[in-house]
Amino acid sequence: MMAALLGMGLYLTNLRRIAKTAPVIPNDCIAADATSSLPGVSPPLAGSVVVVVPAYNEAVNICDCVQSVLASASMDAPLTLWVVDDQSEDATLALAQTLQQELKDPRFHVLPGQARPQGEGWRGKNWACAQGAQQTDSEYLLFLDADVRLKPGAIAAACQAMEQTPADLLTVIPQIECGFWGEWLIQPLIMGLLVAGFDFTQVNDPASSKAFAAGPFMCFRRSAYDRLGGHRAVANCVVEDVELARRIKQKGMTLRFAIGHPLATVRMYRTWQGIWEGWTKNWHEGSQRNLGITLFSALIPFLVGVLPWVGGMVAAWQVISGQGTIETGMTGAIALGVIGLQWEMRRQLEPILGIPPRYWWLTGIGAILTIAIILMSIVKAETGWGWTWRGRSL
């Protein structure tokens, strides 16, 4: 139990530091413009922006995503939105085209994606992103996942933040939304591991090799994107967002990683299958298949989530069966203390992820599921089993 207590103590200390020091893309510029503008008028953009939304089987998301993007900037803003249908097998393309006809917004375009070039090894959403990026030029290029919902003024705030740094790539963690109980169990833990492993301070330090990008929201300076070679340069990468961030730093360009609650929300996975496919695809690959790092990331939820419950139940059974000792009582007390700290862990994650500490008492179950995802990500990558996304082989 001392290992669980020590692990929780170190993890909480790290989370408290991150919560205090992590940069937040402020909504000061949004609030200032909102108070001085007419209702419904968004703040001006700092330059021309192309928004690319790659979409594969996103029928449940695409309409809400498009409308949030268009509502985030005024009609006369230099904004262009391209939805690239990645040969979806559901109604994504039809819904996007119908919405385009209904809105008649000249900023909004729908591109039926072409088949992937044979023999070039395109994986994931890279081909759709590359097609969208080549449709038009701009000062900024913003890639959004279809499950993202922008807030009014979000694009203007992102561009202003990039000018203030200045940054070649701005990537943010939107406010994470959870729906069904599987999301509440897994998302806080696995996202907590991400932000602890990819410390904002180190990622934003040009002298550090640590790099990370959150795929749901990536805003490039167009010149930087072109210099990288765009998504074509990472065509065969499953975790293309992290690889693009690494290349930004390798080429001496500026990466900025921040909390983006004022800019957007995202509900990443709506089903068990989505959670399983998404995280087993990304986790071990995201660590560059570093087995030690991936296994260490599984150790943390074991220490802070699983071990306290196991120790507490063993201590309780020994007391009930009449085998309890002073040491048993101490073990049980420590176990209860660490379980109580699971609420504090979730409370510290809230300002970082935007996820309230709901269902915190089920952290033990969530930790078991998280460990299973991490271990399966190793199996899929190292055995050649490979990955799927919504049934599509990667």
Predicted local distance difference test score (pLDDT) of residue 155: 94
Predicted local distance difference test score (pLDDT) of residue 37: 38
Convert the chain into a string of H (helix), E (strand) and C (coil): CHHHHHHHHHHHHHHHHHHHHCCECCCHHHHHHHHHCCCCCCCCCCCCEEEEEEECCCCCCHHHHHHHHHHCCCCCCCEEEEEEECCCCCCHHHHHHHHHHHHCCCCEEEEECCCCCCCCCCCCCHHHHHHHHCCCCCCEEEEECCCEEECCCHHHHHHHHHHHCCCCEEEEECEECCCCHHHHHHHHHHHHHHHHHCCHHHHCCCCCCCCCCCCCEEEEEHHHHHHHCHHHHHCCCCCHHHHHHHHHHHCCCCEEEEECCCCEEECCCCCHHHHHHHHHHHHHHHCCCCHHHHHHHHHHHHHHHHHHHHHHHHHHHHHHCCCCCHHHHHHHHHHHHHHHHHHHHHHHHHHHHCCCCCCHHHHHHHHHHHHHHHHHHHHHHHHCCCCEECCEEC
Predicted local distance difference test score (pLDDT) of residue 42: 55
Residue pLDDT tens, the chain, 394 long = 889 999 999 999 999 999 999 999 975 444 444 333 334 445 667 679 999 999 999 999 999 999 999 999 888 788 999 999 999 999 999 999 999 999 999 999 999 989 888 888 898 899 999 999 998 889 999 999 999 999 999 999 999 999 988 999 999 999 999 999 999 999 999 999 999 999 999 999 999 999 999 999 999 999 999 999 999 999 999 899 999 999 999 999 999 999 999 999 999 999 999 999 999 998 998 888 999 999 999 999 999 999 999 988 888 888 888 787 878 888 889 999 999 999 999 999 999 999 999 999 999 999 999 999 999 999 999 988 877 767 677 6
Predicted local distance difference test score (pLDDT) of residue 317: 83
Predicted local distance difference test score (pLDDT) of residue 389: 67
pTM for the whole structure: 0.91
Predicted local distance difference test score (pLDDT) of residue 46: 65
Predicted local distance difference test score (pLDDT) of residue 121: 83
Predicted local distance difference test score (pLDDT) of residue 44: 67
